[in-house]
Amino acid sequence: MFKNRNVWIILAGEMIAGLGLWTGIIGNLEFMQHEIPSDFLKSVIMAIGLLAGIAIGPLAGRIIDTSRKKTVLILSGIGRMLSVIFMLIAISTGSIWWMVAFMISIQLSAAFYFPALQATIPLVVSDEKLLQMNGYHMNVATLSRIAGTALAGVVLVYWSLQSLYIVSMVAYAGLLLFTFFLQIEEKREEREAQIKLPNATKSSFMDMFPVIKGYPAVLMGLVLLLIPLLFIGSFNLIVINISEIQDSSSIKGLIYAVEGTSVMLGSFLVKYLQKKWKTGVLIFFFASMIGVAQYLLVFAESQLLTLLAFGVFGYSVGSFFPSIMTIFQRQMPKEYHGRFFSFRNMLERIVFQIVLLVTGGLLDLIGLQWMVILFGSFSFIMSFVFWLQVKKHQIELDTNTTLATT
């Protein structure tokens, strides 16, 4: 697989993009901390960007399906670079409105870029290499998150906030350069045929539901995504709460380090596990292990058990997501990939917003220990119910034997 130049371009591009993304995120937090005293207003500004991405999602999916993937990646890359200019103006003027413009424009670019990238991967690697490629892709994304946040910390110590966004813009320029070297085989007649498909020219995601219902494994995967998203959406609030319980600021860094390392380990080793276990077994096992990680946080006073919980979670997520992504890429017909991955992207954003609000309310009402018991029970019950559904309806989740039919 590593003899394929497209693989190297995608992975190198993801590393560079991740550096730009995470230095930008740290910069956003730094700017809001100085310019916006209200926590509620901070959350509103972040939500505006996410809502913009959700709103454009249906149109993005349709465009991705009916256009050259490389063209979409290039144009969204240019959009990312231009969006950084808004943030540089915001820093110079101290204007919150320019930051809002930045948040909206960067999320609009992301709404096109990430679904297009997921639709591109099946076009550059063979079906049997998809799981391995998804694992490597997740590894690089995690590594870029760790490196990006570390780089941002160094830049903020020794240079100005503007320097952080200049680093981000340089990273996005590097990603754009890498994208130009992609060689994707897309036939014009296939795209034209996709335009003529039922619902292909409609922008409503309601049109995707009949399609998804026709692929039970894909529908099952979308529902099971709620299990890791429940933990991921509440991640930062849980970390802050644990830091307060243990009266330790250093525990936050340890948690992120253990979780990130475990994610990389899980996504690297999942390809070996697949040789012994079917994909369906892997998915439900690691979904259940996420529930175990949530139960372990009942003992949040213990640093050792806290780090163990995040280690179990990281390893489980690192194995879960490449497996689920492989099911999506192989069992959903390629002519629907753009709309489907845009739909998935929109679904995750909505879930994140809901989970964030629910987590904040539960932490105030019942506290961390009871909340993680509730979350863990939800994860176990959901895993068990859908395992029964798979057996009852004989849904084939194994990506080695079931491929999408078009």
CB under 8 Å to 124, separation ≥6 — which residues? Answer: 4, 6, 7, 10, 182, 184
**What pLDDT was estimated at residue 1?**
63
List, for the chain, all residue ranges whose pLDDT scores fall below the cut of 50.
189-191, 193, 195-197, 199-203, 400-406
The H-or-E segment that residue 68 falls in is: none
Give the amino acid at 27.
G
- Per DSSP, the three-state class of 3 is coil
Q: CATH 1.20.1250.20: does it fit domain 1-182? A: yes
**What pLDDT was estimated at residue 149?**
67
**What pLDDT was estimated at residue 374?**
94
CB under 8 Å to 185, separation ≥6 — which residues? Answer: 123
Sign of the CA dihedral with 69 first, then 70, 72, and 77 last? positive
- Concatenated DSSP letters of 24-64: HHHHHHHHHHHH---HHHHHHHHHHHHHHHHHHHHHHHHHH
Q: Are 79 and 56 in contact, with CB atoms under 8 Å apart?
A: no
Every domain of the chain with CATH number 1.20.1250.20 lies at: 1-182, 205-401
Distances (CA, A) of 336 to 116, 150, 326, 375: 11, 38, 15, 33
Distances (CA, A) of 168 to 74, 370, 394: 17, 40, 48
**What pLDDT was estimated at residue 8?**
86
List the one residue out of 210, 325, 218 whose CA is nearest residue 267: 325
Q: Tokens in use for 222?
A: 């979308």
Q: Are 142 and 264 in contact, with CB atoms under 8 Å apart?
A: yes
Q: Tokens in use for 1?
A: 């697989």
**What pLDDT was estimated at residue 249?**
64
Say which CATH topology domain 205-401 has. Growth Hormone; Chain: A; (1.20.1250)
Q: Tokens in use for 334?
A: 């390629």
**What pLDDT was estimated at residue 203?**
45
